[in-house]
Structure 1
Amino acid sequence: MSSNDSAVLLWSNATTQLNRYFSIIIFLFGIIGNILNILVLSQRNLRSNPCASLFLASSIASLVAIFSGLFTRTTSGWAMDLTNTITWLCQLRTFVVFASRTVAYCLIALATIDRWLSSCSDIRRRQMSTIRNAQQGMIIILIFSCLFYVQMFYCYEANLVNTPLKCYGKTIACRLLTDLTYAFAANIFPLVIMLCFGLATIINVREAKRRIQNINMSSLSGIIISSQYRSKKTDHYLLIMLFVQVILFAVFTLPQNIQKFISLAQSNQTKTALNSAIENFIFNFFLLFAYLANGMSFYIYTLFGGSVFRNELLKLAQSGSSSIYHNPHLEDLLTLCKSNSIIDLSVRELIDQDMSIIVQRAIIDKKCKGLYLTGNKFSSESISILSDALYNNLTLIELDLSDNHISDNGVKILMDILSTNKLILKKLHLGSNYISDNGISYVSDMLKINQTLTNLMLNRNNISNRGVHLLSNVLALHNNTLEVLSLASNSLITDSSIDLLIIMLKHNETLKELDIKYCNVTEINNLRLRQIVNQKTDFKLYTNTNDNGCFLS
């Protein structure tokens, strides 16, 4: 046997061993990772996030791609691969592999768009970041991905020779069409979308940080800063997960496309047996290497998803040995409540896990008209659960979330729901929730659109003159429904806000009550406000005065 024949045999054997063992490693790597991904991302705390739901759907598509693409390869070393000998199985398998991989990659691109929408300062764009829109996007991507590869049922054929695979495109034209479609629909297009909207998201995040830096952070306590930090963790880590996935996606998928086009360009050249063996090895290596893009998600989320993803993974592991969360006392209490009534759950040490029980028992089952949740331990996580129940709710009129920890992030979620005008909520209490001017920007955006809210309580927060400016502007020019506004006990509000309030009161015709007690406003400026109020009919102004703070016009 010549040295050339030995080299050909060596490369052919290397290709066989590559398909036999490397494919098994990638298969197990991807199957285990995607199954764990699906289990974690389907948890309630993440399922309500549009970006997380897109990651979930992408993981399902990747699981299908890995199973359909690699299962026969892992068994081909020990048994016959029927997709290499039966044409209709060859066509069906190829169609499923290409379509599912395209779906998986395009869903990640759609998740990038969702992160951009969620980070926009324009409330109308933020409103587009919803579960419903994400689901519609999934359906559209699935339909188009299937249509892109219909030609597989004509182009692919089994039992081919002198091709990298026995199940392959039967003509040069078919291979070119397939490779171009896959390269652009599954790789280049999603990658461009990811890069463009990823950069746009970075710009939005930087602008948001600049807005936050305008607030006098030195006046906030460590508890407030910690609460706001925790509330932003989910979005922050989802963004990191997304960018890492984009980078690795390019590393894993682009080499296969480059190799395919080089091989296609050289298809008419005469090649030696050795060159063909080497090219066949390279083709199979990059083909398997590309499957890492379908199996990497879980490991990225675990390493770069921060405590948000890892905590859900830990909860999932613990749930195998423990029952579903219950609060028997809360459940019994809600069972005794009457339908269409006011339900008071104030100061009961309730936590985020209890919100699911409250939503089901109080809002959905009992159709309560009022819900008082004052003095509990609810964070923005609870607001995510609550917001799903509030959409299209036509019974809840009053909601009291005072003395909790919902922070700016929870305010954003709540304001986006209120901006849809799909509920009839009239009274909202958000006192003592560590809300800053950044949260007030979401409130002011909502007030431009909302047509039902009449009472808004923002007392005992961290609102400054900038927040007053935002509220005064929207009440003077855009809102004609709000009747009661409380800004009491916001110590960062000073005399600088009085001119803004005076202008607002001159232009606004619907506000009937304003509370600025225990703000840092001097008596002379309180007097200026009372002079303006005196020109109105049936208006109540609460300030720091000797007559219990109430001035009626």
Structure 2
Amino acid sequence: RGCDFLSSALRSNPSHLRELDLSNNYITDSGVKQLSDLLKYPKCKLENLGLSSCHINEEACADLSSALRSNPSHLKELDLSENEITDSGIEKLSPLLEDSRCKLKKLGLRSCYINEDGCAVLSSALRSNPSHLRELDLSNNNITDSGVKQLSDLLKHPECKLEKLGLKSCRINEEGCADLSSALRSNPSHLRELDLSDNYITDSGVKQLSDLLKHPEFKLEKLWLRSCHVNEVSCADLSSALRSKPSHLRELDLSNNYFTDSGVKQLSDLLADSQFKLQKLGLRSCFISDRGCDDLSSALRSNPSHLRELDLSDNNITDSGVKQLSDLLKHPQCKLEKLW
């Protein structure tokens, strides 16, 4: 009922509104149907629409797709996360996504009960109109390696210019990493942020990613690999790959993996490299002790001016480890702003 009032009011004065966030309300499909009357109004120039956690499903996707196809050129951001969209809802959205007039840049589909069939439909639709999308979040869906294989057809499309890809908590393992890495090597220059946290990547998957990281045209700036069941072997592969092309990465989160001091030792050669300009490093819950702090501090003293955030929470550091870190903190070029 509130959506009905809102839609009616905005149709009387539609041309100025650019952002509308209705997330975390009990909108349901009926409410989206009311909003659709506004969205298809020719004078509506809405650019950002947030409908996260609104108790909507595939019927709402059909109404949204139909309405926005009547007036597709303005919308730039659409967030449908945490709704029961399912693969059927992706099927309903696909006519909009493949419309050449649709210029959507950000699409949020986190926690939407999507699996590999939905990925296949999504990939197919976006390959018809790939040049506008810059951010895609599919985290916390049942995508698995099969779904990543479907998405890979999109990622290697020469006109795909995706910059941010979220695949956190998607039950991906090393096979998915291999497909992802292979696709991005075919079209490496655009991606800037990749989140693969909370997947069963293992060291084998990180090895696949490392081959991608050393590609001369791959310019990734942010990489999240939290809780990926990797150990010091991955640290060695990452360090080796990034030393061959160290200047782009700005954020690296390896928290909640079994690295231990041995893994930190592997990373130290990378951290000491003056061409490595990392600003944020996450090593929370990595079984690091005072010895690891010593190696970390020593490496960062060789290259102290870039790092701004360091998270070492939930490790076995003790006062002795803090003493090692203190040598870094008093370095005149150390510009650390946040320390956990």
Shorter chain as normaliser: what TM range? Answer: 0.5 to 0.7
Aligned partner (choices 507, 512, 537) of residue 247 of structure 2: 537
The answer to whether structure 1 residue 486 and structure 2 residue 188 are counterparts is no
Could you say which residue in structure 2 is the equivalent of 1:455?
A: 164
Choose which of 203, 224, 236 in structure 2 pairs with 1:515: 224
Is 1:504 the counterpart of 2:212 in the alignment?
yes
- Judged with a 3 Å threshold, the aligned counterparts in structure 2 of structure 1 residues 519 and 414 are, in CA distance, closer, same or farther, namely same
| Helix, strand or coil at the partner of 1:476 | helix
| Structure 1 position 530, deviation (Å) | 4.2
* Aligned position for 2:51: 345
Deviation at 1:527, TM superposition (A): 5.5
Q: AA paired with 2:174?
A: N
State whether residues 402 and 431 of structure 1, in contact with CA within 8 Å, keep that contact through their aligned partners in structure 2. yes
Q: 1:496 to 1:333 in 2, by over 3 A?
A: same
Counterparts of 1:530 and 1:336 in 2: how far apart (Å)?
52
Distance 1:420 1:480, change over 3 A: farther
Q: Which whole-Å CA distance do the structure 2 matches of 1:413 and 1:363 have between them?
A: 18
Contact 2:177–2:206 under 8 Å retained in 1: no
Query: What's the counterpart of residue 548 of structure 1?
Result: 311
Structure-1 separation of matches of 2:193 and 2:162: 9
Q: Is the 8 A contact 2:120 2:147 kept in 1?
A: yes
CA displacement 1:490-520 (0-9 Å, x = unmatched): 1x21112222222111114233222211111
1:378 and 2:85 correspond? yes
- d(CA) in 2 for partners of 1:480, 1:389: 27
Please identify which structure carries the higher strand content.
Answer: 2
- Structure 2 counterpart SS, 1:354: helix
Residue 353 of structure 1: SS of its match in structure 2?
helix
- Gaps (5+ residues) in structure 2? 1-27, 256-282, 285-309, 313-335
Mapped to 1, the partners of 2:149 and 2:80 lie a distance apart of: 24
Superposition TM-score, scaled by structure 1 size: 0.38
SS in 1 for 2:252: strand
Counterpart amino acid of residue 230 in structure 2: V
CA distance in 1, matches of 2:241, 2:226: 17
Which structure has the greater CA radius of gyration?
1
Task: Give the letter for the 1:538 counterpart.
Answer: H
Whether the aligned pair in 1 keeps the contact of 2:29 and 2:56 (CA below 8 Å) is no
Q: Residues 322-358 of structure 1, C-alpha deviation per residue, up to 9 Å, x if partnerless?
A: xxxx944224456677623210000011111111122
Partner of 1:329: 31
**CA–CA separation in structure 2 for the residues paired with 1:431 and 1:412:** 16
- By percentage of residues, which structure has more helix? 1
Residue type of the partner of 2:218? E
Q: Secondary structure at the match of 2:136?
A: strand
In 2, Cα distance between the equivalents of 1:384 and 1:450? 24
Distance 1:397-1:360 versus aligned 2 partners, 3 A rule: same
Instruction: State the shift of 1:363 in Å.
Output: 5.7
Paired letter, 1:382: G
Taking a change above 3 Å as real, the CA distance of residues 476 and 411 of structure 1, as seen in their structure-2 partners, is same
Deviation at 1:475, TM superposition (A): 2.1
Identity %: 26
Separation in structure 2 between the aligned mates of residue 393 and residue 410 of structure 1, nearest angstrom: 22
Rounded Cα–Cα distance in structure 1 between residues aligned with 2:169 and 2:156: 23
Match of 2:156, SS? helix
**Local SS of the residue matching 1:449:** coil
Equivalent AA in structure 1 for residue 107 of structure 2? L
Alpha-carbon distance between aligned partners in 1 of 2:239 and 2:120, rounded to the nearest angstrom = 33
1:351-388 CA distance string (max 9 Å, x none): 11111122234564363110000100011111111111
Cα separation, partners in 2 of 1:529 and 1:501, compared to 1, 3 Å: same
Q: Distance in 1 between matches of 2:197 and 2:230?
A: 11
- Pick closer, same or farther for the CA change 1:538–1:448 going to 2, 3 Å: closer
Amino acid corresponding to residue 223 of structure 2 in structure 1: L
1:135-150 to 2 correspondence within 5 Å? none
Residues 530, 480 of structure 1: alpha-carbon distance in 2 compared, 3 angstrom cutoff: same
The separation in 2 between residues aligned to 1:328 and 1:474, in whole angstroms, is: 40
Counterpart of 1:428 in structure 2: which amino acid?
L
Written as runs of structure 1 = structure 2, the 5 A alignment for 1:37-186 is: none
Q: Which amino acid aligns with 1:548?
A: D
Q: Could you say which residue in structure 2 is the equivalent of 1:424?
A: 132
RMSD: 2.6
Instruction: Please give the alpha-carbon distance, in whole angstroms, between the structure 2 residues aligned to 1:343 and 1:399.
Output: 10
State the secondary structure of the residue aligned to 1:417: helix
